[in-house]
Structure 1
Amino acid sequence: MRFITLVLKNPFRSRARSLLAITGIAIGIATIVTLGVITEGLKTSTEDTLKAGGADFTIVESNVSDMFFSKIDEEYVDRVRNVSGVEDAVGILMAVQPLDDNPYFVLIGIDPAKINMSQIKITEGRTLQDPDADEVIMGKVASENHGKKVGDTIKIKNREYRVVGIFESD
């Protein structure tokens, strides 16, 4: 029997084993593609958010795979703020948390006084005012995807936050 004939006939001799192997390969490929799509979506969302802040540049910890894993002490933000020619420096907190049925909802925390209002436009409600209040503003797309409007609440890590504004970024 020639080698080519053996290769072509062998998968059909044990159909169950062949089916399991093909299923395993398909699941592996689907998983890799799905993770790639999720990662790219998070990256795009993060880049859009940073652009909306009007920053000239972003400082990220070295040797991390993604800015989500970067940790920079507040002391460094103050040091950058004190560099000659720097108008201001702002620290932001970023996390990915589940919200409703979306396991990968991007959260961004920033001091309300530091939000660059020239880069975002409040289309409904108002901006954040009290940094201690349990309030959030949501992007228009996120609010539409989750069916949230001004006055609704969202639950993040067992804590309720009231949506006080909806914004669009330029």
Structure 2
Amino acid sequence: MTPSTYSIANLSDWVGKELGTSNWVTVGQDRINEFAHCTGDHQWIHVDVERAHRESPFGGPVAHGYLTLALLADMSMDVGVVPQDAVAAFNYGLDKVRFMTPVKAGARVRTRITLAEVTAKEGGRKLVKLVNTVEIEGEAKPALIAETLAMLVGAT
């Protein structure tokens, strides 16, 4: 994306276009364990490394799907989905999420983002729908595809 040409004023020009691809993020076992601690989801397939190597159909521990989804916030900022002239940006929700391929502990992921829709709202706000495809390095299928919503606030 060319930051100088991407703005609140011309968001509609970007509909249907790829905004960019984030840097790779490593989803290590420590991150998985921290997520389990924060959420209380200590399912063995995520946190019991020895058992996951013995019994998991994935050959070892995998990240929580919601951990992969949560990584979208930072990866989206890395892409620059919030135009420089925006006063603020707020998570507005999700329209659709599909978890396609588990992310194995130690794998690297990144997101590829396309602007799908822009809806003008009162007060100079714009509701944007972004299609995020989270790729796993070395895997043919994505980890997830998520339609995220953000409210962008322009200067009034």
Is the TM value for this pair above 0.5?
Answer: no
Q: Which structure shows the higher helix fraction?
A: 1
- Per the shorter chain, which TM-score range? under 0.3
TM-score (norm 1): 0.24
